A and B are shown apart, each in its own frame.
Chain A
């Protein structure tokens, strides 16, 4: 902006505010801290905040704001060039394995569980899983509002080793890494990420898409999810507590993420990858983001086992979702087959029905913080359907999900029970695994 500025931030975000200023090239940006939280407090409490002291520096808040705007610049403030960053040494050690485990954990390079130490031999073996050169750039990743980090095939392989992956898992992990989407995102609402795998790679590497598919019962599913977490932390600098991660409660799904290999052989519908325009023989990963998973048990009409109406059951769960994040409905094949018999012969038909049957009142829609932050500015710019929705009376009913395309459906499970889960998750992108073989 080229104007003197003071940023006022709550003291819960000291490290992240200073870190972001540095990442934006202004390490000495003048920040003033007030007590946390600001949200949910009265104006009298806000008045007391600014009349009081900065809880970080102990100085008067208002005096700090004045100083930020009028205090002369130092030589450091006027500096040009680049923020000091050091490239890490390629090799660490020699050290004992126990000491290295301690170092990795203390440095925040793990998920706080022991890892497989990435010796040159193990990384070299991992590299046999791909024809790509070690120094080839895979992509760039960011887990928040900072410049993305770039990484190579070898660096991804290092993190794959740490996660316990096998060489045959590497192309799939590289495909995930190539999307540049970290498994963490810096948001106080503790977002999660999911990957849906389609195509021959699922069977080639022995992924589980049947009984217990989404649980800890398969080496490939487990290692792929864990590798995504580790490479996001280490190569995308995402999920660094207090620096690039502020999820207030955190989310256990971030340990291993949501890894879903679609059960294509038992599904009555086209695989997700084909819906996204890929060929049936392509191996593809598709990435989703959002708030988490919700079980189908407990849905309205969930006990109607003699004449189940799974579409109605699913809609009752989706009726609790934030439309901003869309929905990923995960059906056991028994549910999918039942729905097909009920007339939903494509996933698209079910998505359309669900979008039409999960409406909410405009007044309720406008109460959402996501709507205030994201939809309201779109409405102001005239973007549809948000602009039209904002002109409707409070009692008018509008779709919870802006488009049927915001509701994706996949099939997974071993047909031990007709069940479903639904994620408040929206589709982001897909990547082909085969190009990383």
Chain B
């Protein structure tokens, strides 16, 4: 290889390295790919009870495997420790991610408090 050709190829290599380094270091701006969450209205929480003595507590099973058994153990604890509480076991009808309008209306009318459990 002639000296002139070698010099030329070396120069090309150095130039391409330099441009590659500068491309890596060059700062760019990009568009944000993330969307915006919808505005979610805050739902004020329901007032709490002073006591659970004598209150009606609904235990809502959303029907995942094991949820009913867990709820019944919680109810057994209530029976033993707060025997004056009235305990009502109910199943949420429909799939687990659907609100059971009929049940919710019943709870609104009859329950003082709710314990809802999921399985998995």
Contacts and interface: CB of A to CB of B under 8 A. Distances in A.
Interface of A: 1-10, 12-13, 22-30, 34, 36-41, 43, 46-47, 49-51, 62, 65-66, 69-73, 77-83, 85, 87-98, 100, 104, 107, 109, 117-120, 123, 144-145, 147-151, 154-155, 158-159, 162, 188, 230, 234-237, 369, 372-374, 377, 380-381
Nearest to A235: B35
B26 A151 contact: no
Contact of B47 (A4, A40, A47, A372): A4
B14 interface: no
A4 B120 contact: no
A333 B24 CA distance: 48
B35 A1 contact: no
Contacts of A40: 65-66
Contacts of B39: 82-83, 85
A94 B27 contact: yes
A25 B45 contact: no
B116 A77 contact: no
Interface in B58-116: 63-67, 69-74, 76-77, 81, 93-97, 104, 107-108, 111-116
A41 B64 CA distance: 13
Nearest to A20: B97
19 contacts: A1-B108, A3-B114, A4-B48, A10-B118, A25-B40, A27-B42, A39-B64, A39-B66, A39-B120, A50-B74, A83-B40, A91-B29, A92-B29, A93-B29, A107-B34, A118-B30, A118-B33, A119-B28, A236-B35
A234 B118 contact: no
B113 A39 contact: no
A93 B27 contact: yes
B5 interface: no
B27 A47 contact: no
The 4 closest A-B pairs by CB, nearest first: A93-B29, A38-B66, A94-B27, A25-B43
A168 to B, nearest CB: 20
- Residue of B34, B47, B64, B73 most packed against chain A (CB within 10 A): B34
Contact of A91 (B30, B52, B77, B120): B30
B60 to A, nearest CB: 9
Contacts of B42: 25-27, 79-83
- State the main secondary structure of chain B at its contact with A: loop
B95 A377 contact: yes
Given A90-B32, A97-B24, A104-B33, A5 B116 contact: yes
Contact of A88 (B36, B45, B69): B36
B108 A5 contact: no
A1 B43 CA distance: 11
A22 B38 contact: no
Given A3-B111, A70-B52, A120-B29, 5 more contacts: A4-B113, A65-B115, A95-B28, A235-B33, A374-B95
A13 B40 contact: no
A377 B94 CA distance: 5
Contacts of B34: 88, 107, 109, 234-235
Nearest to A246: B120
Nearest to A103: B30
A148 B38 contact: yes
Nearest to B114: A5
Contacts of A381: 93
A158 B32 CA distance: 8
B17 to A, nearest CB: 17
Interface centre among B35, B40, B108, B117 (most CB of A within 10 A): B35
A4 B51 CA distance: 12
Counting chain A CB atoms within 10 Å of each CB, which of B29, B42, B70 scores highest? B42
Nearest to B29: A93
Nearest to A12: B120
Nearest to A124: B31
B107 to A, nearest CB: 5
Contacts of A66: 52
Contacts of A91: 29-32
